[in-house]
Amino acid sequence: MTRQPETDLWWKKTTVYQIYPRSFMDSSGNGIGDLEGIISKLDYVKDLGVETIWFSPFYTSPQEDFGYDIANYKDIAPEYGTMANCDKLIQEIHDRGMKIIMDLVLNHTSDKHPWFLESKSSRDNPKRDWYVWQDGKKPKGKAPPNNWQARITGSGWYYDENTDQWYWAQFLPFQPDLNYRNPEVKAKMFGTVRFWLEKGADGFRLDIIDSLYEDAAFRNNPLSRHLLPSEDGVLFKSTKMTMHHPDTMIFVQELRKLIDEYSNPSRFLVGEVEGPMPTIKKYCGEVNNPGLNSIFLFETLGVKLQPKTIRKLLNKFNQYYPDPFIPTWVSSNHDIMRRISRFNNDLEIAKLNAALQLTARAVPYIYYGEEIGLQQNSIPLSDSLDAVVSRFRKLPKVIQKLLQKITSEAIHRDNCRTPMQWTPSQNAGFCSPSIKPWLPVSSGYQDRNVETMYNNPDSILHCYKRFLQIRKQYSVLNSGRMTLIASELLPKQVLGFSRWIKTSDVKEEVNIFLNFEDTLVEFSNPTASKNIIASTTIVKAENNEQKIILRPYEAIIME
Ligand code: GLC
């Protein structure tokens, strides 16, 4: 099989748009987004300028975790459509020259998956060992086998009365972990990967892949010195036995070998891995035995927009992900507070954030709606549908309110999953005005919607379009190196960096300047660039070779 040369690897230079299928576009009239709805909006996605679409799961599922609880990996949830709709979706994406990334939940299935139903039916069922079952603590076995905590706090062991054993679930109780020490499970899931590769998937996003294997001897997690999530645990308990197991690293290397069998075009893996940089970098494997192609680097989700902090982060990404590696730059996703709402929903700051994301040396991941300034909703906890919040409902109202205020991103995921806003009409054009959408539309949709923003050339939507376009046009922006401009050469509120490519005789270069404050700033141009090729605003500042003027929160690219 012929491999493409390194430089042609599309996934290194692409831009990714994440669609949460339930919330993108309802075509069937039930208030829930679906595949035909998505297909009807593909021209919009293409026109936006993104090159790859990642879909949160739309496989058969009881939807207790809205698709991250799968009951059949090779079929489509009926509320979203059929396999025929899915084949059409893949085809239509490819016809437009775009790529598709499927979300793959390998760690666990739904507890309604036929495999788990069989597994729990008796201790001697042939599928018993497909999941992680253990006896409880002696003498009566009525206490969990060990001290392992699930991600969502509390013991991750659940008692099954019928067979008098406990099963392990790293995330929520209805998401039992598969047992990858059983070769049948591994073979089955590798088969699933091939099934989707053969259908045309261009890559996979691997859900909580860091939790795939646990300690084979079920040893207790040791104590940690840390209360907050850190290198060696959380809430004073280490996650040594339950996360980042060496066998998981071996697994991702095997998976990489599998997907590398498919070339023309090449495929890729991006992993959801949490932890400090040196730990998560290990998932990339070694040059001769690679693992994941890329990893979500979630520090970008909450990072403060300050020149000093961003400078540090860019340096860190460069240090850990030098060529041939490439970092990722994620602003928002379906689990976390929408980034714009960390900036008081300010559209100008959101444009600056977009400019940074689309010019940094990284693969950008844009979450649907970011391009129109879609805001975090504020649905009360009592009305939430997300299973993660259910455990907070028992708490007194005052504590609930306090918790929501301080940790809204962690406990209330409905608020970042509200319908896409297409028009200023009721329900924002996501579904008919006479239907109740599955989640209430966020406030501000009368102005923050695709139709209205299309008509305003200075809108955030057009800002995204300009930067996405220029990123495609200038190869330095999608595959060049990055060098920070010395801070002594710039005013305090400005960050500058260059993106460049040097071949034996030519050096291509563009320079990016970002103003992080709401005041106009003027400074001498520290580079040889002369012309502005993109700005977050359409009103071009009067810049020239010697002098640069940036308006409040303006970011520009110069060549
Ligand atoms: C990941 C997903 C999240 C899901 C969880 C369990 O973190 O992003 O939405 O609930 O895994 O699958």
pLDDT tens, position by position, 209-257: 999 999 999 999 998 877 666 666 666 778 999 999 999 999 999 999 9
537: CA distance to ligand 1 center in Å?
A: 36
Give the residue, by CA position, lying nearest to ligand 1 atom 9. 335
Residues labelled as active-site residues: 207, 272
Ligand 1: which of 55, 171, 204, 367 to mutate, judged by most atoms within 8 Å of the beta carbon?
Answer: 171
The string of DSSP letters for 451-504 reads HHHHT-TTSHHHHHHHHHHHHHH-HHHHH-EEEEPPGGGS-TTEEEEEEEEE-S
Q: What are the start and end residues of each CATH 3.20.20.80 domain in the chain?
A: 13-109+182-223+240-463
Strands 294-295 and 289-290: unpaired
Which atom of ligand 1 is least distant from the CA of 387? 10
In angstroms, rounded to a whole number, what is the distance separating the alpha carbons of residues 330 and 270? 12
How high is the pLDDT of residue 6? 47
Ligand 1: which of 56, 170, 206, 335 to mutate, judged by most atoms within 8 Å of the beta carbon?
Answer: 335
Q: Mind listing the pLDDT tens digit for each residue in 181-206?
A: 999 999 999 999 999 999 999 999 99
Give the residue, by CA position, lying nearest to ligand 1 atom 7. 208
95: CA distance to ligand 1 center in Å?
A: 30
Q: Mind listing the pLDDT tens digit for each residue in 430-451?
A: 999 999 999 999 999 999 999 9
The three-point CA angle 366-367-373 to 5° equals 95
In angstroms, rounded to a whole number, what is the distance separating the alpha carbons of residues 211 and 284? 16
Which atom of ligand 1 is least distant from the CA of 105? 12
Q: How many CA atoms lie within 13 A of 68 on its CB side?
A: 20
72: CA distance to ligand 1 center in Å?
A: 17
CATH 3.40.1160.10 fits 481-558, yes or no: no
467: three-class secondary structure by DSSP: helix
58: CA distance to ligand 1 center in Å?
A: 13
How high is the pLDDT of residue 211? 97
The three-point CA angle 539-544-546 to 5° equals 140
Q: Which residues line ligand 1 (CB under 6 A)?
A: 65, 68, 105, 171, 207-208, 272, 334-335
Residues of the chain with pLDDT under 70: 1-8, 153, 227-235, 404-411, 540-541, 543-544
453: CA distance to ligand 1 center in Å?
A: 31
Which atom of ligand 1 is least distant from the CA of 172? 6
**Which ranges in 158-234 belong to alpha helices (H)?**
183-199
Contacts (Cβ under 8 Å, ≥6 apart) of 286: none
Ligand 1: which of 66, 207, 210, 412 to mutate, judged by most atoms within 8 Å of the beta carbon?
Answer: 207
431: CA distance to ligand 1 center in Å?
A: 26
In angstroms, rounded to a whole number, what is the distance separating the alpha carbons of residues 378 and 4? 47
Q: What are the start and end residues of each CATH 2.60.40.1180 domain in the chain?
A: 481-558
Distance, C-alpha 161 to centroid of its chain: 37
Ligand 1: which of 208, 243, 384 to mutate, judged by most atoms within 8 Å of the beta carbon?
Answer: 208
How high is the pLDDT of residue 402? 74
Give the residue, by CA position, lying nearest to ligand 1 atom 2. 207
Give the residue, by CA position, lying nearest to ligand 1 atom 4. 68
49: CA distance to ligand 1 center in Å?
A: 27
Give the residue, by CA position, lying nearest to ligand 1 atom 12. 68
Beta-bridged to residue 108, according to DSSP, are: 177
312: CA distance to ligand 1 center in Å?
A: 29
Beta-bridged to residue 237, according to DSSP, are: 223, 234
How high is the pLDDT of residue 380? 83
Backbone torsions φ then ψ of 148, nearest 5 degrees: -65, 130
Contact 171, 151 (CB under 8 A): yes
Ligand 1: which of 22, 23, 65, 334 to mutate, judged by most atoms within 8 Å of the beta carbon?
Answer: 65
In angstroms, rounded to a whole number, what is the distance separating the alpha carbons of residues 383 and 393? 10
Taking the whole predicted model, whether its pTM rises above 0.85 is answered as yes
378: CA distance to ligand 1 center in Å?
A: 21
232: CA distance to ligand 1 center in Å?
A: 21
206: CA distance to ligand 1 center in Å?
A: 10
Tally DSSP H helices, then E strands, for the chain.
15, 22
Contact 452, 282 (CB under 8 A): no
- CATH code for the domain defined by 13-109+182-223+240-463: 3.20.20.80
Which atom of ligand 1 is least distant from the CA of 171? 6
